[in-house]
A = this chain, B = another copy of it.
Amino acid sequence: MAKINAGIATSHVPAIGAAIDNGLTENEYWKPLFDGYEFAKTWMKAQKPDVILLVYNDHATAFDLNLVPTFAIATGAEFKPADEGWGPRPVPNVMGYPKLAAHIAQSVIQDDFDLTVVNTLDVDHGLTVPLSLMFGQPEQWPCRVIPIAVNVVLYPTPSGQRCYNLGKALRKAVESFDEDLNVQIWGTGGMSHQLQGPRAGLINKEFDNAFLDKIVSEPAALAKTPHLEYINLAGSEGIELIMWLIMRGALNDQVDVKKRFYHVPASNTAVGHLVLENK
């Protein structure tokens, strides 16, 4: 049986990808951030996941205003890093897992989640930066990845509760797949940040740290946080945090916190990171 054993949360700031790609991880600005990911990199080598369900959002890359899916799952075999306007990131192609992805799609659609099924998908920094943070700069990514894209760009996004429930449906889907697989789920984006308007640069350490607490200990209550509270207190782009709830919904109610990390800033953004194992 396939099983989700652990969850990762991490911000996915494009500047982090640029720092890795340009060899700047040891400089004064970036070193404190990358130090925060050393635990996860070591831990990951021991975990050896077979597949990652990688929850992220596209940032006007693969999806433009012609078509905005609320939730999309990618069932293709291989995904190229996208050219976001300055050439594709120099990272390996991402290998999918069509059979498991199709199985998940079938299961969650029958559980009343109205997924869009995508085959061809160029993946942007939202997906590739977390891979770089966890795996460094390998020739090939060490495992398969199923991209799950969430709309957080065009309002309304799905509610936090809907995301949390999708996590639970994903777990059920994985557990009904009859290959033996060690599966992880990653929730990416956030933490507090606002990239636009006179309020750009908003960072809310209190909100972020409360979120880091609650997503561990009281996720069901946290899932009820309305959109407005994210926007108001965590910045217009802080709404990305709803993607962490999908990850959390797919884990046990009780989890062990193997690592917790919080850092300000990466470019315009507060960076948060968790490594969670099912208890």
A contact residues vs B (CB 8 Å cutoff): 65-72, 106, 109-110, 112-120, 154-159, 161-162
Partner of A115, one of B70, B109, B155, B161: B70
Q: A112-B162, A156-B106, A162-B114 are in contact. Are A67 and B70 (CB under 8 A)?
A: no
A117 touches B159 (CB 8 A): no
A109 touches B156 (CB 8 A): yes
For residue A137, give the distance in angstroms from its CB to the closest CB of chain B: 30
A68 touches B114 (CB 8 A): no
B112 touches A159 (CB 8 A): yes
B114 touches A114 (CB 8 A): yes
13 contacts between A and B (CB under 8 A): A66-B118, A67-B67, A67-B116, A68-B117, A68-B118, A70-B115, A109-B158, A110-B159, A112-B159, A112-B161, A114-B158, A114-B162, A117-B154
Q: A106-B156, A110-B159, A156-B109 are in contact. Are A118 and B67 (CB under 8 A)?
A: yes
Beyond the given A67-B119, A106-B155, A113-B114, please list 16 additional residue pairs across the A-B interface where CB-CB is below 8 A: A65-B119, A66-B120, A67-B72, A67-B116, A68-B118, A69-B114, A69-B116, A70-B115, A71-B114, A106-B156, A109-B157, A109-B158, A110-B156, A112-B159, A112-B162, A114-B162
* A161: B residues at CB distance < 8 A: 112
For residue A250, give the distance in angstroms from its CB to the closest CB of chain B: 17
* A112: B residues at CB distance < 8 A: 158-159, 161-162
A116 touches B118 (CB 8 A): no
- For the complex, give the distance between the alpha carbons of A114 and B161 in Å: 13
